Structure 1
């Protein structure tokens, strides 16, 4: 049986929960990872016990996968994410983008791949999960146009992206390495323990004039507007 068929079969029992209204069960992802994946891997694609995360194919989209901690971390507001000892889940998510590429005709270009975490009010699940998927064509074009105007200090983007007025930061390098977007955001806040949950946080691959890197985006969420808005779960840019 192929991976995709096996995952579909094993997640069948969770379909009613995942497609139910958000208020029906906000712990579905935690139940999948804690009760299933850490025991037998399936229905997850993989479980990294050393780094404390699992990769799950999202039921939405052609290629979208989710990185989900195997420890109980409710979301961006969790105090655990402010602890430097906590694993750099964004760096891990970037390293796992091959699971997205494997479901598409070819690998997603660096500037077409994104990692998104929704703010507390813009999510349906109370277990941290990073959406790993294609950027929308609109977001890709806007960020490509602004890329070389983004500096190493946080500053507002000149253009809106997917309806968001993001503040952006440039990070150089092929991989995120020791750069942790959660900690970088926390440093900008007066009271991270209270304010982190209000923010969307997105990391996008970039090709700057001086080499590869990343664009990190954040904003204070408005109702029903999450960081995931920059993504296109049909991966139109790959068609």
Structure 2
């Protein structure tokens, strides 16, 4: 039985994996409950479902009709698509339109490769649109899980609200962070992350995949074990930037940086979330 509460599972697949696997007109008209039933257990059976969605539906449709559905957006020139997670109120997933299995892909470290993090940041307005009002800059973050902490073999950057815990843990450290890596335990009994500061109001040319790989030969040699988050923040003097966080999986730890996000968006509305 598919557990929709597992943070590493993009629950949008509960509705869309069936569409991708059928990729036919009648499938698009199926009742949503029927699609859910059809792909019950898809997590284990269809690790390529996200790839089928973006490749066989979204990019094909935008080429044929100009309509990116079921994606919210397809940018063929930029090489990415943005997909709504229909089970979680505010989350979107940014995916390459090329075949990029995950954080371990050498293509992400190639010179001139797309900066998918910058693209994810540029599309955070989709989260605001679903929430229904403007969102503070520092409230929306991004994350990619490790090979061990994911179920899909197509790279996807989670775009959603930053967790209140993560914001509080980082708040007192912002002024001391710089371009050099240090370590930080985000909360008690939580993972210890390597962290550094990226200056600027947007990521620009700073590509977290490359920054993590270039800083640590062990990480570069086995990027599949890494999990990365990019959390926007503002220092006390008003200087905007981002906190880049990297975690490494081992036999007892999956490395799921998505834990730094909150799919209920408590950061915006208090205890009840959105």
Give yes or no for TM over 0.5.
Answer: yes
Q: Tell me the equivalent position of 2:262.
A: 232
Structure-1 separation of matches of 2:38 and 2:178: 42
Q: Tell me the equivalent position of 2:248.
A: 220
Contact preservation (8 Å) 2:248, 2:255: no
Aligned length in residues: 233
* Structure 2 spans left out of the alignment, 5+ residues: 1-14, 17-26, 62-67, 270-274
* Structure 1 spans left out of the alignment, 5+ residues: 1-6
Mean CA deviation greater in 219-228 or 86-95 = 219-228
Structure-1 separation of matches of 2:186 and 2:148: 24
Partner-residue secondary structure (3-state), 2:44: coil
Shift of 1:191: 4.9
Contact preservation (8 Å) 1:138, 1:162: no
Residue 56 in 1 paired to residue 77 in 2? no
Larger Rg: 2
Superposed CA RMSD in Å reads 2.3
The change in CA–CA distance for 1:158 and 1:33 in structure 2 (over 3 A counts) is closer
The change in CA–CA distance for 1:18 and 1:80 in structure 2 (over 3 A counts) is farther
Tell which has more relative contact order, 1 or 2 (C-alpha 8 A, sep 6+): 1
Partner-residue secondary structure (3-state), 1:166: strand
Q: Tell me the equivalent position of 1:38.
A: 59
Contact preservation (8 Å) 1:62, 1:234: yes
Structure-2 separation of matches of 1:205 and 1:89: 16
Q: After the TM superposition, which segments of 4 or more aligned residues of structure 1 sit over 6 Å from their partners? A: none
Contact preservation (8 Å) 2:214, 2:220: no
Shift of 1:221: 2.4
Shift of 1:20: 2.5
